[in-house]
């Protein structure tokens, strides 16, 4: 399917569709998914934050480094790992009007994404450029 058509379909998603498609049945975790827009990402994270009773986006049986959300925007590809925490998601959402910046990860590789205006990592939020 053409990326533009996917994007148009995503724009038309209702809150109910976002919750049903991207959150687990108990609404405590995010299902593995591939998405094509920042707006949809922010909506998925917002509804998870509002509805969850758990501290991480991934289920307890998922390895922390498991890519849970894959984001494809044009030629840029990103992943968010299952061990991202509610506190990290809250900070990422609070900074949603800021640009995404690539910084060094804890191993010195420049692939970690932040939207913190100080260009520092967001504790508990594990998003990386692929």
CA distance 90 to 94: 6
Q: Quick check: 1 pLDDT over 50?
A: no
Domain count, the chain: 1
pLDDT digits (tens, 9 = 90+) for 55-89: 999 987 776 688 999 999 999 999 999 999 999 99
Domain residue limits at 96: 3-129
Of residues 18, 124, 24, 28, the one with CA closest to residue 81: 124
Residue 12, pLDDT score: 56
Give per-residue pLDDT as tens, 93-119.
999 999 999 999 999 999 999 999 999
DSSP per-residue string spanning 56-82: BSS-TTS-TT-EEEEEEETTEEEEEET
């Amino acid at each position: 399917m053409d990326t533009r058509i996917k994007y148009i379909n995503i724009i038309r998603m209702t809150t109910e569709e976002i919750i049903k498609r991207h959150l687990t049945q108990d609404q405590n975790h995010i299902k593995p998914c591939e998405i094509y827009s920042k707006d949809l990402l922010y909506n998925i994270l917002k509804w998870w934050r509002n509805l969850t009773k758990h501290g991480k986006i991934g289920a307890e049986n998922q390895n922390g480094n498991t890519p849970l959300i894959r984001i494809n925007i044009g030629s840029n590809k990103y992943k968010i790992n299952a061990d991202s925490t509610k506190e990290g998601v809250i900070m990422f959402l609070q900074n949603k009007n800021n640009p995404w910046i690539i910084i060094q990860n804890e191993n010195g590789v420049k692939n970690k994404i932040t939207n913190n205006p100080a260009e520092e990592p967001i504790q508990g939020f594990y998003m990386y450029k692929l």
